Structure 1
Amino acid sequence: MQDRLDGKIALITGATSGIGLATAKLFAAEGAHVYITGRNQNTLKAAQDEIGGNVTSVQADSTRSTDLERLFDQIKAEAGGLDVLFANAGGGSMLALEQITEAHVDDTFGRNVKGTILTVQKALPLMAKGASIILAGSSASIEGTAAFSVYSASKAAVRNLARSWVLDLKGTGIRVNVLSPGPVRTPFLLDFAGEDPAQQQGMLDYLSTRIPLGRVGEPEEIARVALFLASDDASFVNGAEIFADGGQAQV
């Protein structure tokens, strides 16, 4: 164990499953004290138990300013500051163009764009020179995907937030980067195939045919990229988008 985050304070939003949970486990193992958030108290408690030590769970919805203010007040009181922020909370669903509703747009952009903006904005007073902000992007942001336009557009917006924020934060020493996975074996992805394991496997098999590496990713693989961006190894990486997609969107 290299303890690449030894003594650092990290926050991962939406960390009750998938990439967020895998990243929280890795950050804690690498020496950070990790704060995790989720909207459901039961799944949040289960995630905290799975991570083990070096973790504090806080129930919070990233689209609600009051929840975020309470979250950062707690971090300030307990830890004094924040070294790493992984704005991972978000989500979306599939709807073809003729089926898109106003509620669908509001929900997707609220979770992926508004929630990201509010989270970063309210975290900034706790972050000092050398801090790292990681935004959850997606390879969908640069690909056309049937019935996935609203989600894809929201992740394209996240990419531009990073481009603009590195200019807003010029001279602060705070880095902002985007981590964009491709298809990863997470509950979020599997939900698109429903509850039937055979249908889930069929979807994974199909997605694998579109990826040059011939398989979907695992949450732990994305977590290792997040660790790089969070650590001092990435001290000169700023405003970048790192794709971890097995090559799918790169060819």
Structure 2
Amino acid sequence: MTSNQHNNPLSHFLSANLFDVAGLVAVVTGGSSGLGLYAAHTLASNGALVYILDLVAVQADITSKESLTAAREFITTDLAQQGKKGIQTLICNAGIGEKFLRSYGQDPPSVPNPKSQAEKDREFGEIVDELWSFSESDCAAILNTNVTGNYLTALAFLPLLKAGTSPDYLSQTILISSNAAWAKVPLLNPIYNISKTAVSHLGQILSTMFCDHGLRTNIIEPGLYPSDLTSTEGRDETTGHGKLSHTNGADIPIGRCGKPEEHASAVLYLASRNSQFANGTRMRVDGAALQKLPASD
């Protein structure tokens, strides 16, 4: 802090202090691309020590207790060598979407000319066939990664979060869910929606179970952002950030997908030292896309 800031009675309202993460230790799963990479970049760029868990970086299979335990022990040892113990933030970001369902079966109210019974019957058959085309392994893969994987990750790092918590910073888990958690139409496919509903509710459960133990849990529910899951346009060669020049057909009032820095800003707020009062918070950052869909929240 500069001398001018010391003399400023409102210096704690300066952005550098409001969103301070310098010196904090964070673990990010799925941090090699997409939303995880945006989170890792914003934390590291602002002075946090970041460990990325992925198939590269610190290797970890989030669906395996053994793999997660090994990753936790690696980080524990590495921190000890730096004279540190514990972490302050765990970002559970890893997830998959699998197949994209195209027959939603519900046109927006603005579409004129109601469908004939024959058209409805044909559409019904298409939807049933497409839903049934999801194999047991398709369903299991989504649920295993998005639900079981995030659940096991959150549990595996509780000891490190507890070791890193203090009255000045209550350690936390940030679960990256999706606005799909509350949409009544499939945003990718129904199993993906279901998995994200589970992730959002997992955040509420963990927040309640550990709020008296000096630990927090918060949830971010992003909408459409550039990632390997949503785009085939590749990545920026310098930053590795995804590219997405359209909305994938989604009715987003702002007329575009989210920018990497818009997701990063949500992460930076929750991870900062001035978010201590946020516990059990669900933050939706989707450009109001969910406001244009039938939804339960």
**Normalised-by-shorter TM-score class:** 0.7 to 0.9
Question: How far does residue 90 in structure 1 lie from its aligned partner after superposition?
Answer: 1.1
Residue aligning to 1:173: 214
* Pairwise CA RMSD: 2.1
Find the aligned partners of 1:217 and 1:183 in 2 and give their Cα distance. 6
Find the aligned partners of 1:201 and 1:6 in 2 and give their Cα distance. 31
Residue aligning to 2:23: 7
Find the aligned partners of 2:224 and 2:188 in 1 and give their Cα distance. 16
Answer yes or no: is 1:61 the counterpart of 2:54: no
Answer yes or no: is 1:239 the counterpart of 2:280: yes
Find the aligned partners of 1:133 and 1:147 in 2 and give their Cα distance. 25
Match of 2:177 among 109, 119, 137: 137
| CA distance 1:214–1:85, change in 2 (3 Å) | same
Residue aligning to 1:107: 141
Instruction: Name the aligned partner's letter for residue 97 of structure 1.
Output: L
| CA distance 1:182–1:147, change in 2 (3 Å) | closer
Q: Is the 8 A contact 1:19 1:220 kept in 2?
A: no
> Deviation string for 1:155-213 (max 9, x for gaps)?
0001111111112103112111111111112221014x99xxxxx97863633xx1111
Residue aligning to 1:49: none
Find the aligned partners of 2:174 and 2:77 in 1 and give their Cα distance. 23
Question: How far does residue 226 in structure 1 lie from its aligned partner after superposition?
Answer: 0.9
| CA distance 1:145–1:120, change in 2 (3 Å) | same
Instruction: Name the aligned partner's letter for residue 45 of structure 2.
Output: A
**Ranges of 4+ aligned residues in structure 1 off by more than 3 Å:** 200-203
SS at match of 1:238: coil
Superposed, which structure 2 residues align to 1:62-211 within 5 Å? Answer: 62-79=62-79, 80-94=85-99, 95=101, 96-128=130-162, 129=165, 130-143=170-183, 144-145=185-186, 148-191=189-232, 204=247, 206-207=249-250, 210-211=251-252
Question: How far does residue 238 in structure 1 lie from its aligned partner after superposition?
Answer: 1.2
Find the aligned partners of 1:244 and 1:151 in 2 and give their Cα distance. 18
Question: How far does residue 109 in structure 1 lie from its aligned partner after superposition?
Answer: 0.6
Q: TM-score, normalised by structure 1?
A: 0.84
Per residue, is there more helix in 1 or in 2? 1
Match of 1:20 among 24, 31, 36: 36
Residue aligning to 1:218: 259
Instruction: Name the aligned partner's letter for residue 14 of structure 1.
Output: G
Q: Is the 8 A contact 1:97 1:147 kept in 2?
A: no
| CA distance 1:174–1:250, change in 2 (3 Å) | farther
> Deviation string for 1:66-86 (max 9, x for gaps)?
111111001111222111000
Unaligned stretches of 5+ residues in structure 2 = 1-14, 80-84, 102-129, 235-242, 293-297
Whose radius of gyration is greater, 1 or 2? 2
| CA distance 1:104–1:242, change in 2 (3 Å) | same
Instruction: Name the aligned partner's letter for residue 62 of structure 1.
Output: I
SS at match of 1:190: coil
Q: TM-score, normalised by structure 2?
A: 0.72
Find the aligned partners of 1:146 and 1:90 in 2 and give their Cα distance. 14
Question: How far does residue 233 in structure 1 lie from its aligned partner after superposition?
Answer: 2.2
Q: Is the 8 A contact 1:185 1:216 kept in 2?
A: yes
